[in-house]
């Protein structure tokens, strides 16, 4: 009887182990499928945004023939770099050719190694190439476009008298505020000015800051359009760089009309045009 019970117990344990192995394999399979699905979604979004970015570019062209517009579109696609990951790398910020002021700010933020989106975006952006980046929130995408933007303003020797050289368009107030906070940390050792214009804030105060000279301007689409159309003293003729953050949301129907008007008003950005899209992934990393 005891031996029979022992055999039954051993058999039960074997079944449990076998079932657990099956569950583990099934879980691993699900995780792989989810990862493949996320990658597929990123590629799909990137293709869609690529189509939209060429549309955005066309809106900035002035008096071109269809043939000339097609040549510009082909040339822009050749320059575009697609980045679609957000994990950490072994590459350090010290490997980049950055100004001492920017290095000091990055050190103060306690960042040493770059994330994938930063390592893939910053070098080509510093070279003046277009970048289409797909990155989850928290993957370091904010620094990925702010570092090249600040370096551009520094190398162009921007001052408040030059007006606005970089505009960052965000879909929400919350993202704009977060971006402004990071930008202010990044320019701490530079003599550059950072301002923000978003719905819900005092418009008159915003207009005064713009008139005083905002080298790096963070904005939501509606409020930016308002200032472009009505704020006297808004100097944007020297604009060098346009950043559209979370462009998948900004270029949705709710913002598309405002964006079309904005791009018709702004001068053509010849030196640098950046477009980063947000991809909703489950995993989250604590990076800027």
pLDDT tens, 67-77? Answer: 555 555 555 55
Instruction: Write down all domains in the chain, each with its CATH number in brackets.
Output: 31-278 (3.40.50.300)
Amino acid 256: pLDDT: 87
CA angle 178, 184, 186 (to 5 degrees): 105
Provide the token pair at 254.
């709710």
Cα dihedral sign, 104-109-110-116 = negative
Amino acid 134: pLDDT: 76
Closest by CA position to 277, among listed 44, 79, 101, 36: 44
- Is the Cβ–Cβ distance between 143 and 288 less than 8 Å? yes
pLDDT tens, 84-132? Answer: 554 788 999 999 999 999 999 999 999 999 999 899 889 999 988 878 7
Q: How many residues does the chain have?
A: 288
- Is the Cβ–Cβ distance between 235 and 111 less than 8 Å? no
| pLDDT higher than threshold 60 for residue 29 | no
Please state, in angstroms and rounded to a whole number, the distance separating the CA atoms of residues 146 and 138: 15
- Is the Cβ–Cβ distance between 81 and 120 less than 8 Å? yes
pTM score: 0.74
pLDDT tens, 221-259? Answer: 999 999 999 999 999 999 999 999 988 888 776 888 999
**Alpha helical stretches, state H, 60-139:** 66-79, 100-108, 116-126
């Amino acid at each position: 009887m005891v031996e029979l019970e022992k055999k039954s117990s051993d058999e039960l344990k074997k079944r449990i182990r076998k079932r657990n192995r099956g569950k583990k394999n099934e879980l691993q399979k699900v995780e792989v499928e989810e990862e493949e699905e996320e990658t597929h979604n990123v590629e799909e979004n990137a293709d869609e945004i690529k189509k939209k970015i060429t549309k955005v570019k066309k809106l900035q062209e002035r008096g071109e023939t269809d043939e000339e517009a097609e040549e510009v579109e082909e040339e822009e696609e050749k320059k575009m770099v697609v980045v679609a990951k957000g994990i950490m790398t072994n590459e350090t910020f010290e490997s980049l050719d950055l100004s001492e002021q920017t290095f000091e700010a990055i050190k103060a933020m306690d960042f040493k190694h770059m994330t994938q989106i930063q390592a893939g975006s910053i070098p080509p952006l510093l070279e003046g190439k277009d970048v289409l980046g797909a990155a989850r929130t928290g993957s370091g995408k904010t620094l990925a476009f702010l570092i090249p933007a600040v370096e551009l303003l520094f190398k162009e020797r921007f001052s408040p008298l030059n007006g606005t050289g970089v505009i960052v368009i965000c879909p929400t107030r919350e993202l704009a505020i977060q971006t402004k906070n990071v930008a202010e940390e990044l320019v701490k050792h530079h003599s550059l000015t950072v301002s923000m214009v978003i719905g819900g804030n005092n418009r008159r105060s915003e207009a005064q800051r713009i008139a005083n000279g905002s080298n790096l301007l963070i904005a939501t689409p509606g409020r930016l359009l308002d200032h472009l159309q009505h704020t006297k003293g808004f100097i944007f003729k020297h604009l060098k760089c346009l950043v559209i953050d979370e462009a998948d949301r900004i270029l949705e129907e709710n913002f598309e009309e405002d964006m079309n008007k904005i791009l018709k008003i702004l001068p053509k950005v010849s030196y640098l045009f950046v477009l980063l899209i947000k991809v909703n992934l489950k995993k989250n990393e604590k990076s800027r």
